[in-house]
Structure 1
Amino acid sequence: MTTTLNLRALERPAQLAFQRTVREVEQALPAAHEDAVYGWDQQTRRRNGEVAGSPRNVVDTGELRDSQQPARYTSPLNAVIEWTADHAAATYLGAVFRKREASRPARNVPANTLRKLNPAALFAGHLRRLL
């Protein structure tokens, strides 16, 4: 006797669940830039005139937040979300500047948002509703 396990019936629901999960992540990311959760050791006058203390958000002009690109699907179950602002890497990953005495700590909004949202749980919920 043999048994055959065929998961083909899950392919389309899994893709739809993934797309819905990505959409939720995409929608949460811009607002997450506004969360004042990042510690800072000094006050800063931002370009928009606001004085930011600690904790603070990462929004100054909004350029970084607004540079988020729509998710690009590289396969049915893989998506890339990109920010095109020149200072995206320095903000999210941190930076040390040779010409300045100060450095910038990492304020990784995407990673922190993913931790908070729990994409695996979101995906499981979407998949459960589709089956």
Structure 2
Amino acid sequence: MKIDLSKVNRAIEGAFKATVEQYAENCTEAIDAEIWRWDGITLRKSGEVATSPRTIRDTDELRDSQEVSFPDANTAIVEYTAEHAANVHEGIDSNGNPTPARPWLEHAAANTDFQGIMTTELRKRLKS
């Protein structure tokens, strides 16, 4: 039996990218989801009045600031470049006061079947 290691490596790289891209999509879904509880009422920059439960979209600046990169075959970075991303995630307002944290990255990770996605994607790629 002859094994084409370059095909195996390409399949692994492709499956890894697909898995990370699914996680990134799940991050976007977490930002869009009305799951973030907060008893306060907020007038958003968009003019919308936000109550609880709420999304964390507002003007979509946070949502649209997602960047996914693959510096090498074994590394993926999913990051948010909006200035307020860390504050929203960790629960700090623009004045440094505590607010409810909205940890969408952890929420998405808890709702992403990394092993299942990787397995399915790898099988697809090794069949072709």
Matched, 1:107 2:105: no
Q: Which residue of 2 aligns with 1:73?
A: 70
Counterpart of 2:117, as a letter, is L
| TM-score in terms of structure 2 length | 0.81
| Superposition CA RMSD, Å | 2.3
Work out the CA distance in 2 between the residues paired with 1:60 and 1:16: 34
Counterpart of 1:67, as a letter, is S
- Number of aligned residues: 123
1:86-126 per-residue CA deviation (whole Å, 9 max, x = no partner) reads 111011122277x57x5222211122112112222211111
Q: Structure 2: which 5+ runs fail to align?
A: none
- The alpha-carbon deviation at position 82 of structure 1 amounts to 1.3
Work out the CA distance in 1 between the residues paired with 2:103 and 2:119: 25
Work out the CA distance in 2 between the residues paired with 1:35 and 1:112: 11
Work out the CA distance in 1 between the residues paired with 2:80 and 2:93: 20
Counterpart of 1:129, as a letter, is K
- The alpha-carbon deviation at position 25 of structure 1 amounts to 2.6
Larger Rg: 1
Instruction: Please identify runs of 4+ aligned residues in structure 1 that moved more than 6 A.
Output: none
Greater length-normalized contact order (CA 8 Å, ≥ 6 residues apart) = 2
Matched, 1:128 2:128: no
| TM-score in terms of structure 1 length | 0.80
> What secondary structure is seen at the aligned counterpart in 1 of 2:70?
strand
Q: Structure 1: which 5+ runs fail to align?
A: 1-5
